Amino acid sequence: MIKTAISGALGRMGNRLSVLIKLDPEMECIGGIDKTHGIYNEIEVFDNPKNIISLADVVIDFSSPEFTPVLARQCQEYGKPLVSGTTGIDAAGLDVMKECADDIPIISSPNMSLGVNLLFYLTEVATQILKNDFDIEIMEIHHHHKKDAPSGTAKRLGEIIAKVKNQEYDKSVITGRSGNVGERTKEELGIFALRGGNVVGEHNVMYFGATERLELVHKATTRDTFVYGAIKAAKFIVGKDPGWYSMADVLGLFTSKE
């Protein structure tokens, strides 16, 4: 039985984690971490992570980009693996987490969906083959509550494409076109965000050729897909050597390392 602590236990993802872990015969939720201490969903939630991390075999994190690097330090202190699906972590925060990965195993992914991580892999392969002959654009759709744009998943897809094309992501990406902008250059990478309704998440990587178009599409129909991916990642990482792992490692895919 894998003893699991949930960081961000009172959020939407944390709530679903506590429910679905109870249904998994290999997992046990021993408590949560959030801003408020109390009993929620039949588990005790602590506002001090140190009260629960030391008892866990693994910590699954869906909290905030500001808190996750702090949590990584605390997991490092207690020698506990960390699986984080928190998005929006800045470069400094990622540097802290990668430093912690010298001592503990860490998986950090902007999207825990198994299908999306296969999409990352397929995008890398398709771009390697088509990069010289096709224009590449990305479109993503999310519910109207989503605050950031483009999504972390769309950014990751863009980073994969830019890396394969030997381009700098920040210099290649265009997030909007308006007015007389001129012809599209070969170096451009458009990433466009649509918001509306209750869409869980859709991502479409489009390859436009002179006589054909290829589209790689993923549609999430429930947030549980991210929870199941995080649970699979937690099972994978327990017992692993310290290091910076990805969902590609969980799925056994061979992609270029970040």
Q: Which residue among 142, 155, 203, 218 is the active-site one? A: 142
The angle that helices 114-130 and 152-164 make with each other, rounded to 10 degrees, is 30
Are the C-beta atoms of residues 247 and 109 closer than 8 Å to each other? Answer: yes
Q: How far apart are CA 229 and CA 156, in angstroms?
A: 17
How many CA atoms lie within 13 Å of 39's alpha carbon, on the beta-carbon side? Answer: 1
Q: How far apart are CA 29 and CA 6, in angstroms?
A: 7
CA distances to 28, 32, 98, 119, 255 from 43, in Å: 11, 7, 30, 35, 38
Q: Which residue among 37, 146, 232, 240 is the active-site one? A: 146
- 142 has catalytic annotation: yes
CA distances to 61, 141, 153 from 117, in Å: 18, 17, 9
Active site residues: 142, 146
